[in-house]
Amino acid sequence: MNIDITNSNNCTSNGEHDGLTTVTNSEEDELNRNKIKIYKDFLITKDQKKNKNNELKPLFSKLMEQVKEFSNDKIQLMFVMKAQELQLKFKSGKKLKDVNTLKDIGKSLYTDKSQENKSNINYCLKGQFEKQGERFGWAQELEKEFMDDYNYVYLEDDKIKMKGCIERLIVRRRIELSKLVKRLGDPLEDTKRNNNDDNQSSCIELVEKNQEIAELRKQLAATKRNEVSWL
């Protein structure tokens, strides 16, 4: 039985195959014979950048969307379950309500600025993922679950010494969702950050404009000196 392998390194076997290499199934990969095989850097390169070599391949965008959807569901569930375990609540009018969604965690942060509540929310978003010194153990477990559910497997002969791209995308998504909760909980602070960015951009533009004016003045002065010398 033949299996298509998505190859980010443009390998060739009996000619070009547009990034796909055909290999023959063997006994040692019998369990993985119907799975889609990818390299560890298929989505993200070793330096954490999008793999431009594979970006136009149909599987690239499909896999990206699958990982994002899977990560959203799993990580938000972990956030909410830990929030419920810690009995986090948010104020709605005059009532306190239990946290049931990602937005509710943001509302809890927004309506309760106590240090205890902030610490509990930080544990939901970050602390629970770093327990017992295994900083990325949770991501490795989710990666395995994703690859089993969606029928993917890394190439066994992949010699790249790096984490799999799916694990790294899962870790990245946790960070993005954590930042989203914090923006929901403190929109004014987020506005300040955006304003600071805008101010920095304005300052840079002003400096560049002043440099252009100074250069034009130098050119004008040089032109005048040349005219005087001709006289």
pLDDT on residue 158: 61
What is the predicted pLDDT for the residue at 181? 94
Task: Give the residue-averaged pLDDT of 44-55.
Answer: 85
Average pLDDT on 123-138 reads 84
Q: Is-above-0.75 flag for pTM?
A: no
Instruction: Give the mean model confidence (pLDDT) for residues 79-94.
Output: 94
- Kindly tell me if the per-residue pLDDT of 35 is higher than 70: yes
The pLDDT assigned to 16 comes to 39
Q: What pLDDT sits at residue 32? A: 62
Structure tokens, 211: 């440099």
Total H helices, total E strands in the chain? 6, 6
pLDDT value of residue 118: 94
List, for residues 111-125, the tens digit of each pLDDT value: 999 999 999 999 999
Residue 182 near residue 102 (C-beta atoms within 8 A): no
Name the more confident of 213 and 228.
Answer: 213
Give pLDDT, residue 9. Answer: 47
Please list the alpha-helical segments (H only) found in 18-164: 58-85, 102-111, 115-125, 137-150
Q: Copy the structure tokens of residue 27.
A: 């006994």
Look at residue 161 in the predicted model and tell me its pLDDT. Answer: 72
| pLDDT tens digits, 154-210 | 987 666 677 899 999 999 999 999 999 999 988 765 545 455 544 555 555 665 666
**What tokens does 205 get?**
């533009």
Confidence at residue 10, expressed as pLDDT on a 0 to 100 scale: 46
Q: Is the separation of the CB atoms in 71 and 142 below 8 Å?
A: yes
Antiparallel, parallel or unpaired: β 2-6 and 36-38: parallel
CB neighbourhood size of 142 (10 A): 22
> What percent of the chain shows pLDDT beyond 90?
50
pLDDT interval class at 226 (50, 70, 90): low
Q: Considering just the CA atoms, what is the radius of gyration of the chain in Å?
A: 27
